[in-house]
Amino acid sequence: MDIISNIQDVIEKEISAIEQVEKDLPLNDQDYEKVVNKIISLKENGRLIFTGVGKSGHIGKKLAATFASTGTPSFFVHATEVMHGDLGMITASDLVIDISNSGETKEAVAVVAPIQRLGAKVVALTGNQDSTLAKDCDYLLLVHVDGEADEHNLAPTNSSTSALVVGDAIALTVSKAKGFSEKDFGKFHPGGALGKRLVKEGVIK
């Protein structure tokens, strides 16, 4: 096996998947604008909450961190833990994004009704518009890929990367719409090399 060629092949497959998602977006945008506007209009005490399990859960954690650092209060709650007390972290003022590529992951599907009973709206971020999750949720963000990047079409790769890219794109769209500035970003990121640069440039004082 040519290691470098194999690595390049996987990267090319993931790039291709993202490009296809981008091309499909105008065809599947029925709820994208609604969700972006819903996030922008969250009440002062409302948060954007991500949930999921497995690799989808890891993507949710990263997206929650991205939204939080760009001006939208956000956090992740594991779908299993939602059913064992962490439902108390969610209020009627919140918006929940539930991530599952198949839309049939039992833990991801199970949390929808309890969250809705609290009065919060739930967004399905899934690759299957005919799935239980897509049908049960209030909004749908369709992120469909034709397959994964591994030779067995099993390991979450194309699907998880595409979900991450779409989530990042929504976060930065919301941030731009809110007029989130470099100074605002500096308030939330005072540490590390980035924080040091912002202090040096006078953004953080």
Is the model's pLDDT at 4 over the cut of 90? yes
Asked whether residue 38 is domain-assigned, the answer is yes
> Tell me, what's the pLDDT at 201?
67
Question: pLDDT of 37-63, one tens digit each?
Answer: 999 999 778 999 999 999 999 999 999
Q: What is the DSSP letter of 48?
A: E
> Tell me, what's the pLDDT at 180?
87
Contacts of 152 (CB under 8 A, 6+ apart): none
| CATH number for 113 | 3.40.50.10490
Q: Are the C-beta atoms of 163 and 59 separated by less than 8 Å?
A: yes
Is the model's pLDDT at 195 over the cut of 70? no
> Tell me, what's the pLDDT at 199?
64
Is the model's pLDDT at 194 over the cut of 70? no
Contacts of 142 (CB under 8 A, 6+ apart): 24, 28, 126, 127, 129, 134
Rounded Cα distance between 141 and 165, Å, is: 13
Three-state SS letters, 42-98: CCCCCCEEEEECHHHHHHHHHHHHHHHHCCCCEEEEEHHHHCCCHHHHCCCCCEEEE
Rounded Cα distance between 42 and 45, Å, is: 8
Contacts of 5 (CB under 8 A, 6+ apart): none
Q: Which residue has the tokens 């739930």?
A: 122
> Tell me, what's the pLDDT at 191?
74
Give me the domain span that covers residue 76.
Answer: 3-176
Q: How remote is the C-alpha of 139 from its chain's centroid?
A: 13
User: What is the number of structural domains in the chain?
Assistant: 1
Asked whether residue 84 is domain-assigned, the answer is yes
> Tell me, what's the pLDDT at 204?
59
> Tell me, what's the pLDDT at 26?
86
Question: pLDDT of 92-130, one tens digit each?
Answer: 999 999 999 999 999 999 999 999 999 999 999 999 999
pLDDT band (50, 70, 90) for residue 186: confident
